Amino acid sequence: MAQVELKNLSKKYGKVTAVQNMDLIIPHNQFLVLVGPSGCGKSTTLRMIAGLEEITGGEIFINDERVNDKDPKDRNVSMVFQNYALYPHMSVEENLGFSLKIAKVKSEEIEKRVNEAVSILGLEDLRSRKPSQLSGGQRQRVAMGRAIVRRPDAFLFDEPLSNLDAKLRTQMRTEIKKLHQKLKTTIIYVTHDQVEAMTLADRIIIMKDGYIEQIGSPIEVFSKPTNVFVATFIGSPPMNIFSAEIINSNNNIKIKLDDNLYFDCTEDQKNKLQNKKNIFLGIRAEDIMPVENNINTSFWSFKRNVDIVEPLGTETQLFITINDKEIISRMYNPYAVNVGDELTFQVDPSKVHFFDKETEKAII
Ligand SMILES: Nc1ncnc2c1ncn2[C@@H]1O[C@H](COP(=O)(O)OP(=O)(O)OP(=O)(O)O)[C@@H](O)[C@H]1O
Ligand SMILES: [Mg+2]
Protein backbone atom coordinates (compact mmCIF):
# COMPACT_ATOMS: atom_id res chain seq x y z
CA MET A 1 0.00 0.00 0.00
CA ALA A 2 1.51 3.30 -0.90
CA GLN A 3 0.53 6.80 -1.68
CA VAL A 4 3.37 8.79 -3.20
CA GLU A 5 3.33 12.56 -2.99
CA LEU A 6 5.65 15.07 -4.66
CA LYS A 7 5.64 18.64 -3.40
CA ASN A 8 7.28 21.33 -5.48
CA LEU A 9 9.92 18.85 -6.59
CA SER A 10 12.82 20.21 -8.64
CA LYS A 11 16.12 18.98 -9.99
CA LYS A 12 18.92 21.00 -11.49
CA TYR A 13 22.11 19.63 -12.98
CA GLY A 14 24.26 22.75 -12.93
CA LYS A 15 22.46 25.12 -15.27
CA VAL A 16 20.16 22.44 -16.71
CA THR A 17 16.78 22.25 -15.02
CA ALA A 18 15.60 18.67 -15.47
CA VAL A 19 12.42 18.83 -13.35
CA GLN A 20 10.58 22.01 -12.42
CA ASN A 21 8.31 22.45 -9.39
CA MET A 22 6.41 19.23 -9.76
CA ASP A 23 3.33 18.80 -7.57
CA LEU A 24 1.62 15.46 -7.64
CA ILE A 25 -0.28 12.94 -5.51
CA ILE A 26 -0.28 9.33 -6.71
CA PRO A 27 -2.95 7.44 -4.76
CA HIS A 28 -2.54 3.86 -3.63
CA ASN A 29 -2.97 1.28 -6.40
CA GLN A 30 -2.84 3.83 -9.20
CA PHE A 31 -1.01 2.99 -12.44
CA LEU A 32 0.56 6.33 -13.27
CA VAL A 33 2.49 6.77 -16.53
CA LEU A 34 4.98 9.58 -17.10
CA VAL A 35 5.34 10.15 -20.83
CA GLY A 36 7.15 12.75 -22.89
CA PRO A 37 9.96 13.24 -25.39
CA SER A 38 13.59 12.39 -24.69
CA GLY A 39 15.16 14.63 -22.06
CA CYS A 40 11.90 15.94 -20.56
CA GLY A 41 12.77 14.74 -17.05
CA LYS A 42 10.95 11.41 -16.72
CA SER A 43 13.85 9.29 -15.47
CA THR A 44 15.06 12.07 -13.21
CA THR A 45 11.63 12.20 -11.53
CA LEU A 46 11.61 8.45 -11.04
CA ARG A 47 15.16 8.36 -9.73
CA MET A 48 14.39 11.09 -7.21
CA ILE A 49 11.44 9.05 -5.91
CA ALA A 50 13.67 5.97 -5.63
CA GLY A 51 16.33 8.00 -3.84
CA LEU A 52 18.94 7.41 -6.54
CA GLU A 53 19.20 11.10 -7.34
CA GLU A 54 19.59 13.91 -4.87
CA ILE A 55 16.82 16.48 -5.12
CA THR A 56 17.46 20.19 -5.57
CA GLY A 57 14.21 21.42 -4.06
CA GLY A 58 10.89 20.20 -2.71
CA GLU A 59 9.74 17.15 -0.83
CA ILE A 60 8.81 13.53 -1.42
CA PHE A 61 6.36 11.65 0.81
CA ILE A 62 5.65 7.93 0.74
CA ASN A 63 2.61 7.07 2.85
CA ASP A 64 2.72 10.49 4.51
CA GLU A 65 6.31 9.96 5.59
CA ARG A 66 8.88 12.45 4.31
CA VAL A 67 11.59 10.38 2.64
CA ASN A 68 13.93 13.13 1.39
CA ASP A 69 16.74 11.96 3.64
CA LYS A 70 16.07 8.24 3.51
CA ASP A 71 18.37 5.80 1.76
CA PRO A 72 16.98 4.08 -1.35
CA LYS A 73 16.85 0.74 0.47
CA ASP A 74 14.70 2.19 3.25
CA ARG A 75 12.05 3.67 0.96
CA ASN A 76 10.49 0.31 0.12
CA VAL A 77 10.10 1.03 -3.56
CA SER A 78 11.49 -1.22 -6.30
CA MET A 79 12.78 0.00 -9.59
CA VAL A 80 12.82 -1.98 -12.85
CA PHE A 81 15.14 -0.58 -15.51
CA GLN A 82 15.36 -0.72 -19.26
CA ASN A 83 18.56 -2.81 -19.17
CA TYR A 84 17.58 -5.41 -16.64
CA ALA A 85 21.17 -6.49 -15.84
CA LEU A 86 20.58 -9.96 -14.43
CA TYR A 87 23.52 -11.74 -12.81
CA PRO A 88 24.75 -13.94 -15.68
CA HIS A 89 26.24 -16.71 -13.52
CA MET A 90 23.10 -17.18 -11.42
CA SER A 91 19.98 -19.17 -12.28
CA VAL A 92 16.58 -17.50 -12.53
CA GLU A 93 15.80 -18.65 -9.00
CA GLU A 94 19.06 -17.30 -7.62
CA ASN A 95 18.59 -14.00 -9.44
CA LEU A 96 15.15 -13.67 -7.90
CA GLY A 97 16.25 -14.40 -4.35
CA PHE A 98 19.58 -12.57 -4.37
CA SER A 99 18.48 -9.21 -2.96
CA LEU A 100 16.64 -10.98 -0.11
CA LYS A 101 19.74 -13.04 0.66
CA ILE A 102 21.82 -9.86 0.88
CA ALA A 103 19.18 -8.39 3.20
CA LYS A 104 19.60 -11.53 5.39
CA VAL A 105 16.02 -12.70 4.97
CA LYS A 106 15.56 -16.29 6.27
CA SER A 107 15.90 -18.97 3.61
CA GLU A 108 12.34 -20.33 4.09
CA GLU A 109 10.96 -16.85 3.56
CA ILE A 110 13.16 -16.37 0.47
CA GLU A 111 11.88 -19.64 -0.95
CA LYS A 112 8.28 -18.65 -0.30
CA ARG A 113 8.63 -15.27 -2.00
CA VAL A 114 10.58 -16.66 -4.94
CA ASN A 115 7.89 -19.32 -5.46
CA GLU A 116 5.26 -16.63 -5.35
CA ALA A 117 7.05 -14.48 -7.96
CA VAL A 118 7.70 -17.52 -10.17
CA SER A 119 4.01 -18.37 -10.14
CA ILE A 120 2.82 -14.79 -10.72
CA LEU A 121 5.12 -14.41 -13.71
CA GLY A 122 4.76 -17.94 -15.11
CA LEU A 123 8.47 -18.74 -14.77
CA GLU A 124 7.97 -22.31 -13.45
CA ASP A 125 9.78 -24.05 -16.32
CA LEU A 126 12.67 -21.60 -16.34
CA ARG A 127 13.69 -21.67 -12.67
CA SER A 128 17.08 -23.26 -13.17
CA ARG A 129 18.06 -21.57 -16.45
CA LYS A 130 20.77 -18.96 -16.69
CA PRO A 131 19.92 -15.51 -18.17
CA SER A 132 21.80 -16.36 -21.39
CA GLN A 133 19.31 -19.21 -21.95
CA LEU A 134 16.31 -16.88 -21.80
CA SER A 135 14.55 -14.75 -24.42
CA GLY A 136 14.39 -10.97 -24.02
CA GLY A 137 10.83 -11.10 -22.71
CA GLN A 138 11.68 -13.86 -20.22
CA ARG A 139 14.64 -11.84 -18.95
CA GLN A 140 12.43 -8.83 -18.51
CA ARG A 141 10.00 -10.99 -16.51
CA VAL A 142 12.83 -12.12 -14.24
CA ALA A 143 13.78 -8.46 -13.75
CA MET A 144 10.20 -7.76 -12.68
CA GLY A 145 10.32 -10.82 -10.42
CA ARG A 146 13.33 -9.38 -8.64
CA ALA A 147 11.23 -6.32 -7.84
CA ILE A 148 8.21 -8.41 -6.79
CA VAL A 149 10.08 -10.54 -4.20
CA ARG A 150 10.92 -7.41 -2.27
CA ARG A 151 7.20 -6.75 -1.77
CA PRO A 152 7.62 -3.04 -2.30
CA ASP A 153 5.00 -0.42 -1.54
CA ALA A 154 5.42 0.93 -5.05
CA PHE A 155 7.01 -0.18 -8.31
CA LEU A 156 8.98 2.24 -10.42
CA PHE A 157 9.47 1.22 -14.05
CA ASP A 158 11.86 3.11 -16.32
CA GLU A 159 11.14 2.16 -19.94
CA PRO A 160 11.19 -1.55 -19.08
CA LEU A 161 10.11 -2.67 -22.56
CA SER A 162 12.22 -0.48 -24.82
CA ASN A 163 14.83 -3.18 -25.45
CA LEU A 164 12.24 -5.63 -26.77
CA ASP A 165 11.00 -5.99 -30.32
CA ALA A 166 7.58 -4.62 -31.23
CA LYS A 167 5.64 -7.87 -30.87
CA LEU A 168 7.17 -8.81 -27.54
CA ARG A 169 6.62 -5.28 -26.28
CA THR A 170 2.90 -5.59 -26.92
CA GLN A 171 2.79 -8.97 -25.13
CA MET A 172 4.75 -7.72 -22.13
CA ARG A 173 2.55 -4.63 -21.96
CA THR A 174 -0.45 -6.87 -21.39
CA GLU A 175 1.50 -8.86 -18.81
CA ILE A 176 2.39 -5.73 -16.88
CA LYS A 177 -1.23 -4.68 -16.88
CA LYS A 178 -2.27 -8.09 -15.53
CA LEU A 179 0.50 -7.90 -12.96
CA HIS A 180 -0.87 -4.61 -11.69
CA GLN A 181 -4.33 -6.13 -11.37
CA LYS A 182 -2.88 -9.05 -9.38
CA LEU A 183 -0.55 -7.13 -7.11
CA LYS A 184 -2.75 -4.09 -6.51
CA THR A 185 0.15 -1.75 -5.84
CA THR A 186 1.09 1.71 -6.93
CA ILE A 187 3.05 1.78 -10.16
CA ILE A 188 4.89 4.74 -11.61
CA TYR A 189 5.89 3.88 -15.14
CA VAL A 190 8.08 5.90 -17.48
CA THR A 191 7.92 5.63 -21.25
CA HIS A 192 8.29 7.83 -24.29
CA ASP A 193 5.84 5.64 -26.19
CA GLN A 194 2.39 7.22 -26.17
CA VAL A 195 0.67 3.94 -27.09
CA GLU A 196 2.21 2.25 -24.04
CA ALA A 197 1.11 5.20 -21.93
CA MET A 198 -2.47 5.11 -23.21
CA THR A 199 -2.91 1.35 -22.84
CA LEU A 200 -1.38 0.97 -19.38
CA ALA A 201 -2.28 4.08 -17.45
CA ASP A 202 -5.06 4.88 -15.04
CA ARG A 203 -3.63 8.37 -15.23
CA ILE A 204 -1.11 9.89 -17.64
CA ILE A 205 1.26 12.78 -17.09
CA ILE A 206 2.59 14.36 -20.24
CA MET A 207 5.90 16.14 -19.58
CA LYS A 208 7.96 18.55 -21.61
CA ASP A 209 11.16 20.37 -20.60
CA GLY A 210 10.76 19.37 -16.95
CA TYR A 211 7.18 20.64 -16.72
CA ILE A 212 3.86 18.82 -16.52
CA GLU A 213 1.88 19.76 -19.63
CA GLN A 214 -1.27 17.81 -18.73
CA ILE A 215 -2.51 15.21 -16.24
CA GLY A 216 -5.57 13.12 -16.91
CA SER A 217 -7.04 9.75 -17.77
CA PRO A 218 -6.01 8.35 -21.17
CA ILE A 219 -9.37 9.36 -22.62
CA GLU A 220 -9.16 12.87 -21.18
CA VAL A 221 -5.73 13.63 -22.59
CA PHE A 222 -6.74 12.17 -25.94
CA SER A 223 -10.09 13.90 -26.29
CA LYS A 224 -9.37 17.15 -24.43
CA PRO A 225 -5.71 18.02 -24.95
CA THR A 226 -4.92 21.30 -23.20
CA ASN A 227 -2.43 22.47 -25.79
CA VAL A 228 -0.92 21.77 -29.22
CA PHE A 229 1.97 19.79 -27.72
CA VAL A 230 -0.31 17.25 -26.01
CA ALA A 231 -2.65 17.16 -29.01
CA THR A 232 0.19 16.12 -31.31
CA PHE A 233 2.01 13.89 -28.80
CA ILE A 234 -0.94 11.67 -27.84
CA GLY A 235 -2.61 9.74 -30.65
CA SER A 236 -1.29 8.12 -33.79
CA PRO A 237 -1.07 9.54 -36.39
CA PRO A 238 -0.61 12.89 -34.60
CA MET A 239 -3.55 15.28 -34.70
CA ASN A 240 -3.60 17.38 -37.88
CA ILE A 241 -2.87 21.00 -36.92
CA PHE A 242 -3.25 23.94 -39.29
CA SER A 243 -3.45 27.69 -39.19
CA ALA A 244 -6.88 29.21 -39.61
CA GLU A 245 -8.36 32.68 -39.55
CA ILE A 246 -11.54 33.76 -37.81
CA ILE A 247 -13.60 36.02 -40.06
CA ASN A 248 -16.06 38.06 -38.04
CA SER A 249 -18.43 40.12 -40.16
CA ASN A 250 -22.04 41.21 -39.68
CA ASN A 251 -22.37 39.08 -36.55
CA ASN A 252 -21.50 36.04 -38.55
CA ILE A 253 -18.36 34.13 -37.65
CA LYS A 254 -16.63 31.94 -40.17
CA ILE A 255 -13.48 29.87 -39.99
CA LYS A 256 -11.19 30.33 -42.97
CA LEU A 257 -8.79 27.49 -43.74
CA ASP A 258 -7.65 28.81 -47.10
CA ASP A 259 -8.93 31.12 -49.82
CA ASN A 260 -11.52 28.59 -50.93
CA LEU A 261 -12.42 26.95 -47.64
CA TYR A 262 -14.71 28.81 -45.26
CA PHE A 263 -16.80 27.05 -42.64
CA ASP A 264 -19.63 28.20 -40.41
CA CYS A 265 -19.29 28.00 -36.65
CA THR A 266 -21.67 26.24 -34.32
CA GLU A 267 -23.27 28.46 -31.66
CA ASP A 268 -20.88 27.11 -29.07
CA GLN A 269 -17.87 27.83 -31.28
CA LYS A 270 -19.07 31.39 -31.94
CA ASN A 271 -18.80 32.15 -28.24
CA LYS A 272 -15.32 30.68 -28.07
CA LEU A 273 -13.96 32.31 -31.18
CA GLN A 274 -15.62 35.71 -31.43
CA ASN A 275 -12.60 37.61 -30.05
CA LYS A 276 -10.00 35.59 -31.91
CA LYS A 277 -8.26 36.33 -35.17
CA ASN A 278 -5.58 33.77 -35.95
CA ILE A 279 -5.80 30.32 -34.40
CA PHE A 280 -4.57 26.77 -34.79
CA LEU A 281 -7.19 24.26 -35.68
CA GLY A 282 -6.77 20.58 -34.79
CA ILE A 283 -8.59 17.63 -36.35
CA ARG A 284 -7.77 13.98 -35.74
CA ALA A 285 -7.33 11.80 -38.82
CA GLU A 286 -10.42 9.74 -37.94
CA ASP A 287 -12.51 12.92 -37.82
CA ILE A 288 -11.77 13.76 -41.47
CA MET A 289 -13.90 11.20 -43.23
CA PRO A 290 -14.14 10.56 -46.94
CA VAL A 291 -17.79 10.05 -47.95
CA GLU A 292 -19.24 8.55 -51.10
CA ASN A 293 -22.81 9.66 -50.62
CA ASN A 294 -24.89 10.26 -47.46
CA ILE A 295 -23.46 13.74 -47.15
CA ASN A 296 -24.35 15.22 -43.77
CA THR A 297 -25.33 18.85 -44.35
CA SER A 298 -24.46 19.93 -40.81
CA PHE A 299 -20.84 18.77 -41.28
CA TRP A 300 -18.03 20.69 -42.95
CA SER A 301 -17.57 19.41 -46.45
CA PHE A 302 -14.87 19.83 -49.08
CA LYS A 303 -13.34 18.07 -52.07
CA ARG A 304 -9.69 17.11 -52.38
CA ASN A 305 -7.52 14.93 -54.57
CA VAL A 306 -5.74 12.19 -52.72
CA ASP A 307 -1.92 12.57 -52.69
CA ILE A 308 -0.93 9.30 -51.01
CA VAL A 309 -2.81 6.13 -50.08
CA GLU A 310 -1.52 3.97 -47.19
CA PRO A 311 -3.53 0.77 -46.62
CA LEU A 312 -3.00 -0.62 -43.10
CA GLY A 313 -5.47 -3.50 -43.18
CA THR A 314 -8.29 -2.45 -40.87
CA GLU A 315 -7.98 1.14 -42.03
CA THR A 316 -6.43 3.19 -44.80
CA GLN A 317 -4.66 6.51 -44.36
CA LEU A 318 -5.26 9.09 -47.06
CA PHE A 319 -2.95 12.08 -47.40
CA ILE A 320 -4.46 15.28 -48.74
CA THR A 321 -3.32 18.91 -48.82
CA ILE A 322 -5.05 21.90 -47.28
CA ASN A 323 -3.39 25.30 -47.54
CA ASP A 324 -0.02 23.71 -48.44
CA LYS A 325 -0.21 21.50 -45.36
CA GLU A 326 -0.23 17.71 -45.51
CA ILE A 327 -3.31 16.33 -43.74
CA ILE A 328 -4.06 12.72 -42.87
CA SER A 329 -7.54 11.28 -43.12
CA ARG A 330 -8.35 7.83 -41.77
CA MET A 331 -10.80 5.70 -43.66
CA TYR A 332 -12.35 2.54 -42.25
CA ASN A 333 -14.54 1.67 -45.23
CA PRO A 334 -12.64 -0.75 -47.40
CA TYR A 335 -13.55 0.83 -50.72
CA ALA A 336 -10.71 1.26 -53.15
CA VAL A 337 -9.07 4.66 -53.44
CA ASN A 338 -6.33 5.54 -55.90
CA VAL A 339 -3.81 8.33 -55.86
CA GLY A 340 -5.27 11.35 -57.66
CA ASP A 341 -8.93 10.42 -56.98
CA GLU A 342 -11.08 13.34 -56.02
CA LEU A 343 -13.08 12.59 -52.86
CA THR A 344 -15.50 14.50 -50.71
CA PHE A 345 -14.32 14.78 -47.11
CA GLN A 346 -16.47 15.65 -44.13
CA VAL A 347 -15.64 16.91 -40.68
CA ASP A 348 -18.02 16.90 -37.73
CA PRO A 349 -17.54 20.46 -36.41
CA SER A 350 -18.04 19.30 -32.82
CA LYS A 351 -14.87 17.18 -33.16
CA VAL A 352 -12.64 20.12 -34.09
CA HIS A 353 -10.10 21.48 -31.55
CA PHE A 354 -9.10 25.14 -31.38
CA PHE A 355 -5.84 26.49 -30.00
CA ASP A 356 -4.62 30.01 -29.41
CA LYS A 357 -1.94 30.90 -31.95
CA GLU A 358 0.38 32.61 -29.45
CA THR A 359 0.07 30.43 -26.36
CA GLU A 360 -0.88 27.22 -28.23
CA LYS A 361 -3.35 26.54 -25.40
CA ALA A 362 -6.75 25.04 -26.11
CA ILE A 363 -9.52 27.61 -26.52
CA ILE A 364 -12.32 26.37 -24.27
N1 LIG B 1 23.76 13.35 -14.59
C2 LIG B 1 23.33 14.36 -15.35
N3 LIG B 1 24.08 15.47 -15.52
C4 LIG B 1 23.65 16.51 -16.27
N5 LIG B 1 22.45 16.54 -16.90
C6 LIG B 1 21.67 15.49 -16.77
C7 LIG B 1 22.05 14.33 -16.00
N8 LIG B 1 21.04 13.43 -16.06
C9 LIG B 1 20.08 13.99 -16.83
N10 LIG B 1 20.44 15.21 -17.26
C11 LIG B 1 19.64 16.14 -18.09
O12 LIG B 1 18.38 16.33 -17.46
C13 LIG B 1 17.34 16.34 -18.42
C14 LIG B 1 16.31 15.26 -18.09
O15 LIG B 1 16.89 13.98 -18.23
P16 LIG B 1 16.10 12.63 -18.02
O17 LIG B 1 17.08 11.52 -18.05
O18 LIG B 1 15.25 12.76 -16.81
O19 LIG B 1 15.18 12.61 -19.33
P20 LIG B 1 14.14 11.50 -19.82
O21 LIG B 1 12.82 12.18 -19.92
O22 LIG B 1 14.22 10.29 -18.95
O23 LIG B 1 14.67 11.20 -21.29
P24 LIG B 1 14.78 9.79 -22.11
O25 LIG B 1 13.42 9.54 -22.70
O26 LIG B 1 15.78 10.10 -23.17
O27 LIG B 1 15.22 8.72 -21.16
C28 LIG B 1 18.00 16.18 -19.78
O29 LIG B 1 18.17 17.46 -20.32
C30 LIG B 1 19.34 15.54 -19.45
O31 LIG B 1 20.30 15.89 -20.39
MG1 LIG C 1 14.89 8.31 -19.29
Query: Omega of the bond prior to 237 within 30 degrees of 0, cis?
Result: yes
Q: Which fold has domain 240-356?
A: OB fold (Dihydrolipoamide Acetyltransferase, E2P) (2.40.50)
What mean pLDDT is reported for the chain?
93
pLDDT of res. 334 = 67
Ligand nearest to the CA of 34: 1
Domain ranges in the chain?
A: 4-233, 240-356
Model confidence over 252-285: pLDDT tens digits?
A: 899 999 888 999 888 888 888 988 999 999 999 9
Domain at 4-233, CATH homologous superfamily: P-loop containing nucleotide triphosphate hydrolases (3.40.50.300)
For the CA of 19, the nearest atom of ligand 1: 14
Model confidence over 202-217: pLDDT tens digits?
A: 999 999 999 999 999 9
Ligand nearest to the CA of 158: 2
Q: How far is the CA of 318 from the centre of ligand 1 (A)?
A: 37
Segments of the chain scoring below 70 in pLDDT? 334
Nearest CA to ligand 1 atom 17: 43
pLDDT of res. 131 = 93
The set of protein residues with a Cβ atom below 6 angstroms from ligand 1 is 13, 16, 18, 36, 38-44, 192
Query: Do the beta carbons of residue 147 and residue 157 sit within 8 Å?
Result: no
Nearest CA to ligand 1 atom 27: 38
Query: Do the beta carbons of residue 93 and residue 116 sit within 8 Å?
Result: no
pLDDT of res. 83 = 75
Q: Please state, in angstroms and rounded to a whole number, the distance separating the CA atoms of residues 70 and 50.
A: 10
Query: Do the beta carbons of residue 10 and residue 37 sit within 8 Å?
Result: no
pLDDT of res. 1 = 72
Mutate to test the pocket of ligand 1, among 11, 20, 42, 47 (most ligand atoms within 8 A of CB): 42
For the CA of 42, the nearest atom of ligand 1: 21
Ligand nearest to the CA of 37: 1
